[in-house]
Amino acid sequence: MSPAHRSLNLVFLGPPASGKGTQAKVLSERYEIPHVATGLMLRSEVERSTALGSQVKESIDRGALVPDELIRGLILQRLLREDCARGFLLDGYPRSIEQAGILDDMLAELGRAIERVILLRVPDDEIIRRQRERGQRRPDEQDAVVTERLRTYREKESELRELYQRRGLLVEVDGRQSQEMVTEAVMHGVGAAVSA
């Protein structure tokens, strides 16, 4: 990111096992902005048995979404931290049109806005194949849960895609390419926002 650039606020969308987490990590290093992943944050709350953790454990184990209000608080606290001043890469949020609205309001209050939304495209059969090949599964990655999480994701994906496309923010990338090519394609798509 050029020193003159004030901030780079990115949203990363993509199905589970699309390589989104890996890409988000690489991109957060390249752009020097924190990787804010709601799934990781929530699982850490569960592992540490915090009050929030015990509230969300059951939903996470089932692959269901946790209530909007809980995620809102979690994200707001995270975005207020100093390391988000120059931007952030949101991974796993928003996951619905309602959450997109909540995020817009939250960012407006902070005097900020989304600059680019990256959508990693990977078809269902490829996702299911990748999940099966993963040697060690998380407890929430049994077949039925994988299918349920994918179904929940797809249900919301099209409306989010439409929303961000309408706003001219969407960068779509084919997630079936090699890891390096995906990174390159994302950076190319985000380039305009970085140098703006």
Q: Which of 7, 55, 59, 147 binds ligand AMP (CB under 6 A)?
A: 59
Query: Is residue 134 flagged as an active site residue?
Result: yes
Q: Which of 9, 18, 28, 38 binds ligand AMP (CB under 6 A)?
A: 38
Q: If binding is defined by CB under 6 A, does position 63 make contact with ligand AMP?
A: yes
Number of amino acids touching ligand AMP (CB under 6 A): 16
Amino acid at position 80, single letter = L
Other residues' Cβ atoms within 10 Å of the Cβ of residue 84: 18
Quote the CA–CA distance of 97 and 95 in Å, as a whole number: 7
**Per-residue contact track with ligand AMP, 70 to 89, x per CB under 6 A?**
-x------------------
Q: If binding is defined by CB under 6 A, does position 18 make contact with ligand AMP?
A: no
Amino acid at position 17, single letter = A
User: Residue 153's Cα: distance from chain center in Å?
Assistant: 11
Q: If binding is defined by CB under 6 A, does position 119 make contact with ligand AMP?
A: no
Q: If binding is defined by CB under 6 A, does position 24 make contact with ligand AMP?
A: no
Quote the CA–CA distance of 33 and 25 in Å, as a whole number: 10
Quote the CA–CA distance of 134 and 129 in Å, as a whole number: 9
Other residues' Cβ atoms within 10 Å of the Cβ of residue 95: 21
The residues of the shown chain that bind ligand AMP, judged by CB under 6 A, are 16, 38-39, 42, 59-60, 63-66, 71, 92-93, 95, 99, 149
Query: Which residues form the catalytic set?
Result: 20, 95, 134, 138, 149
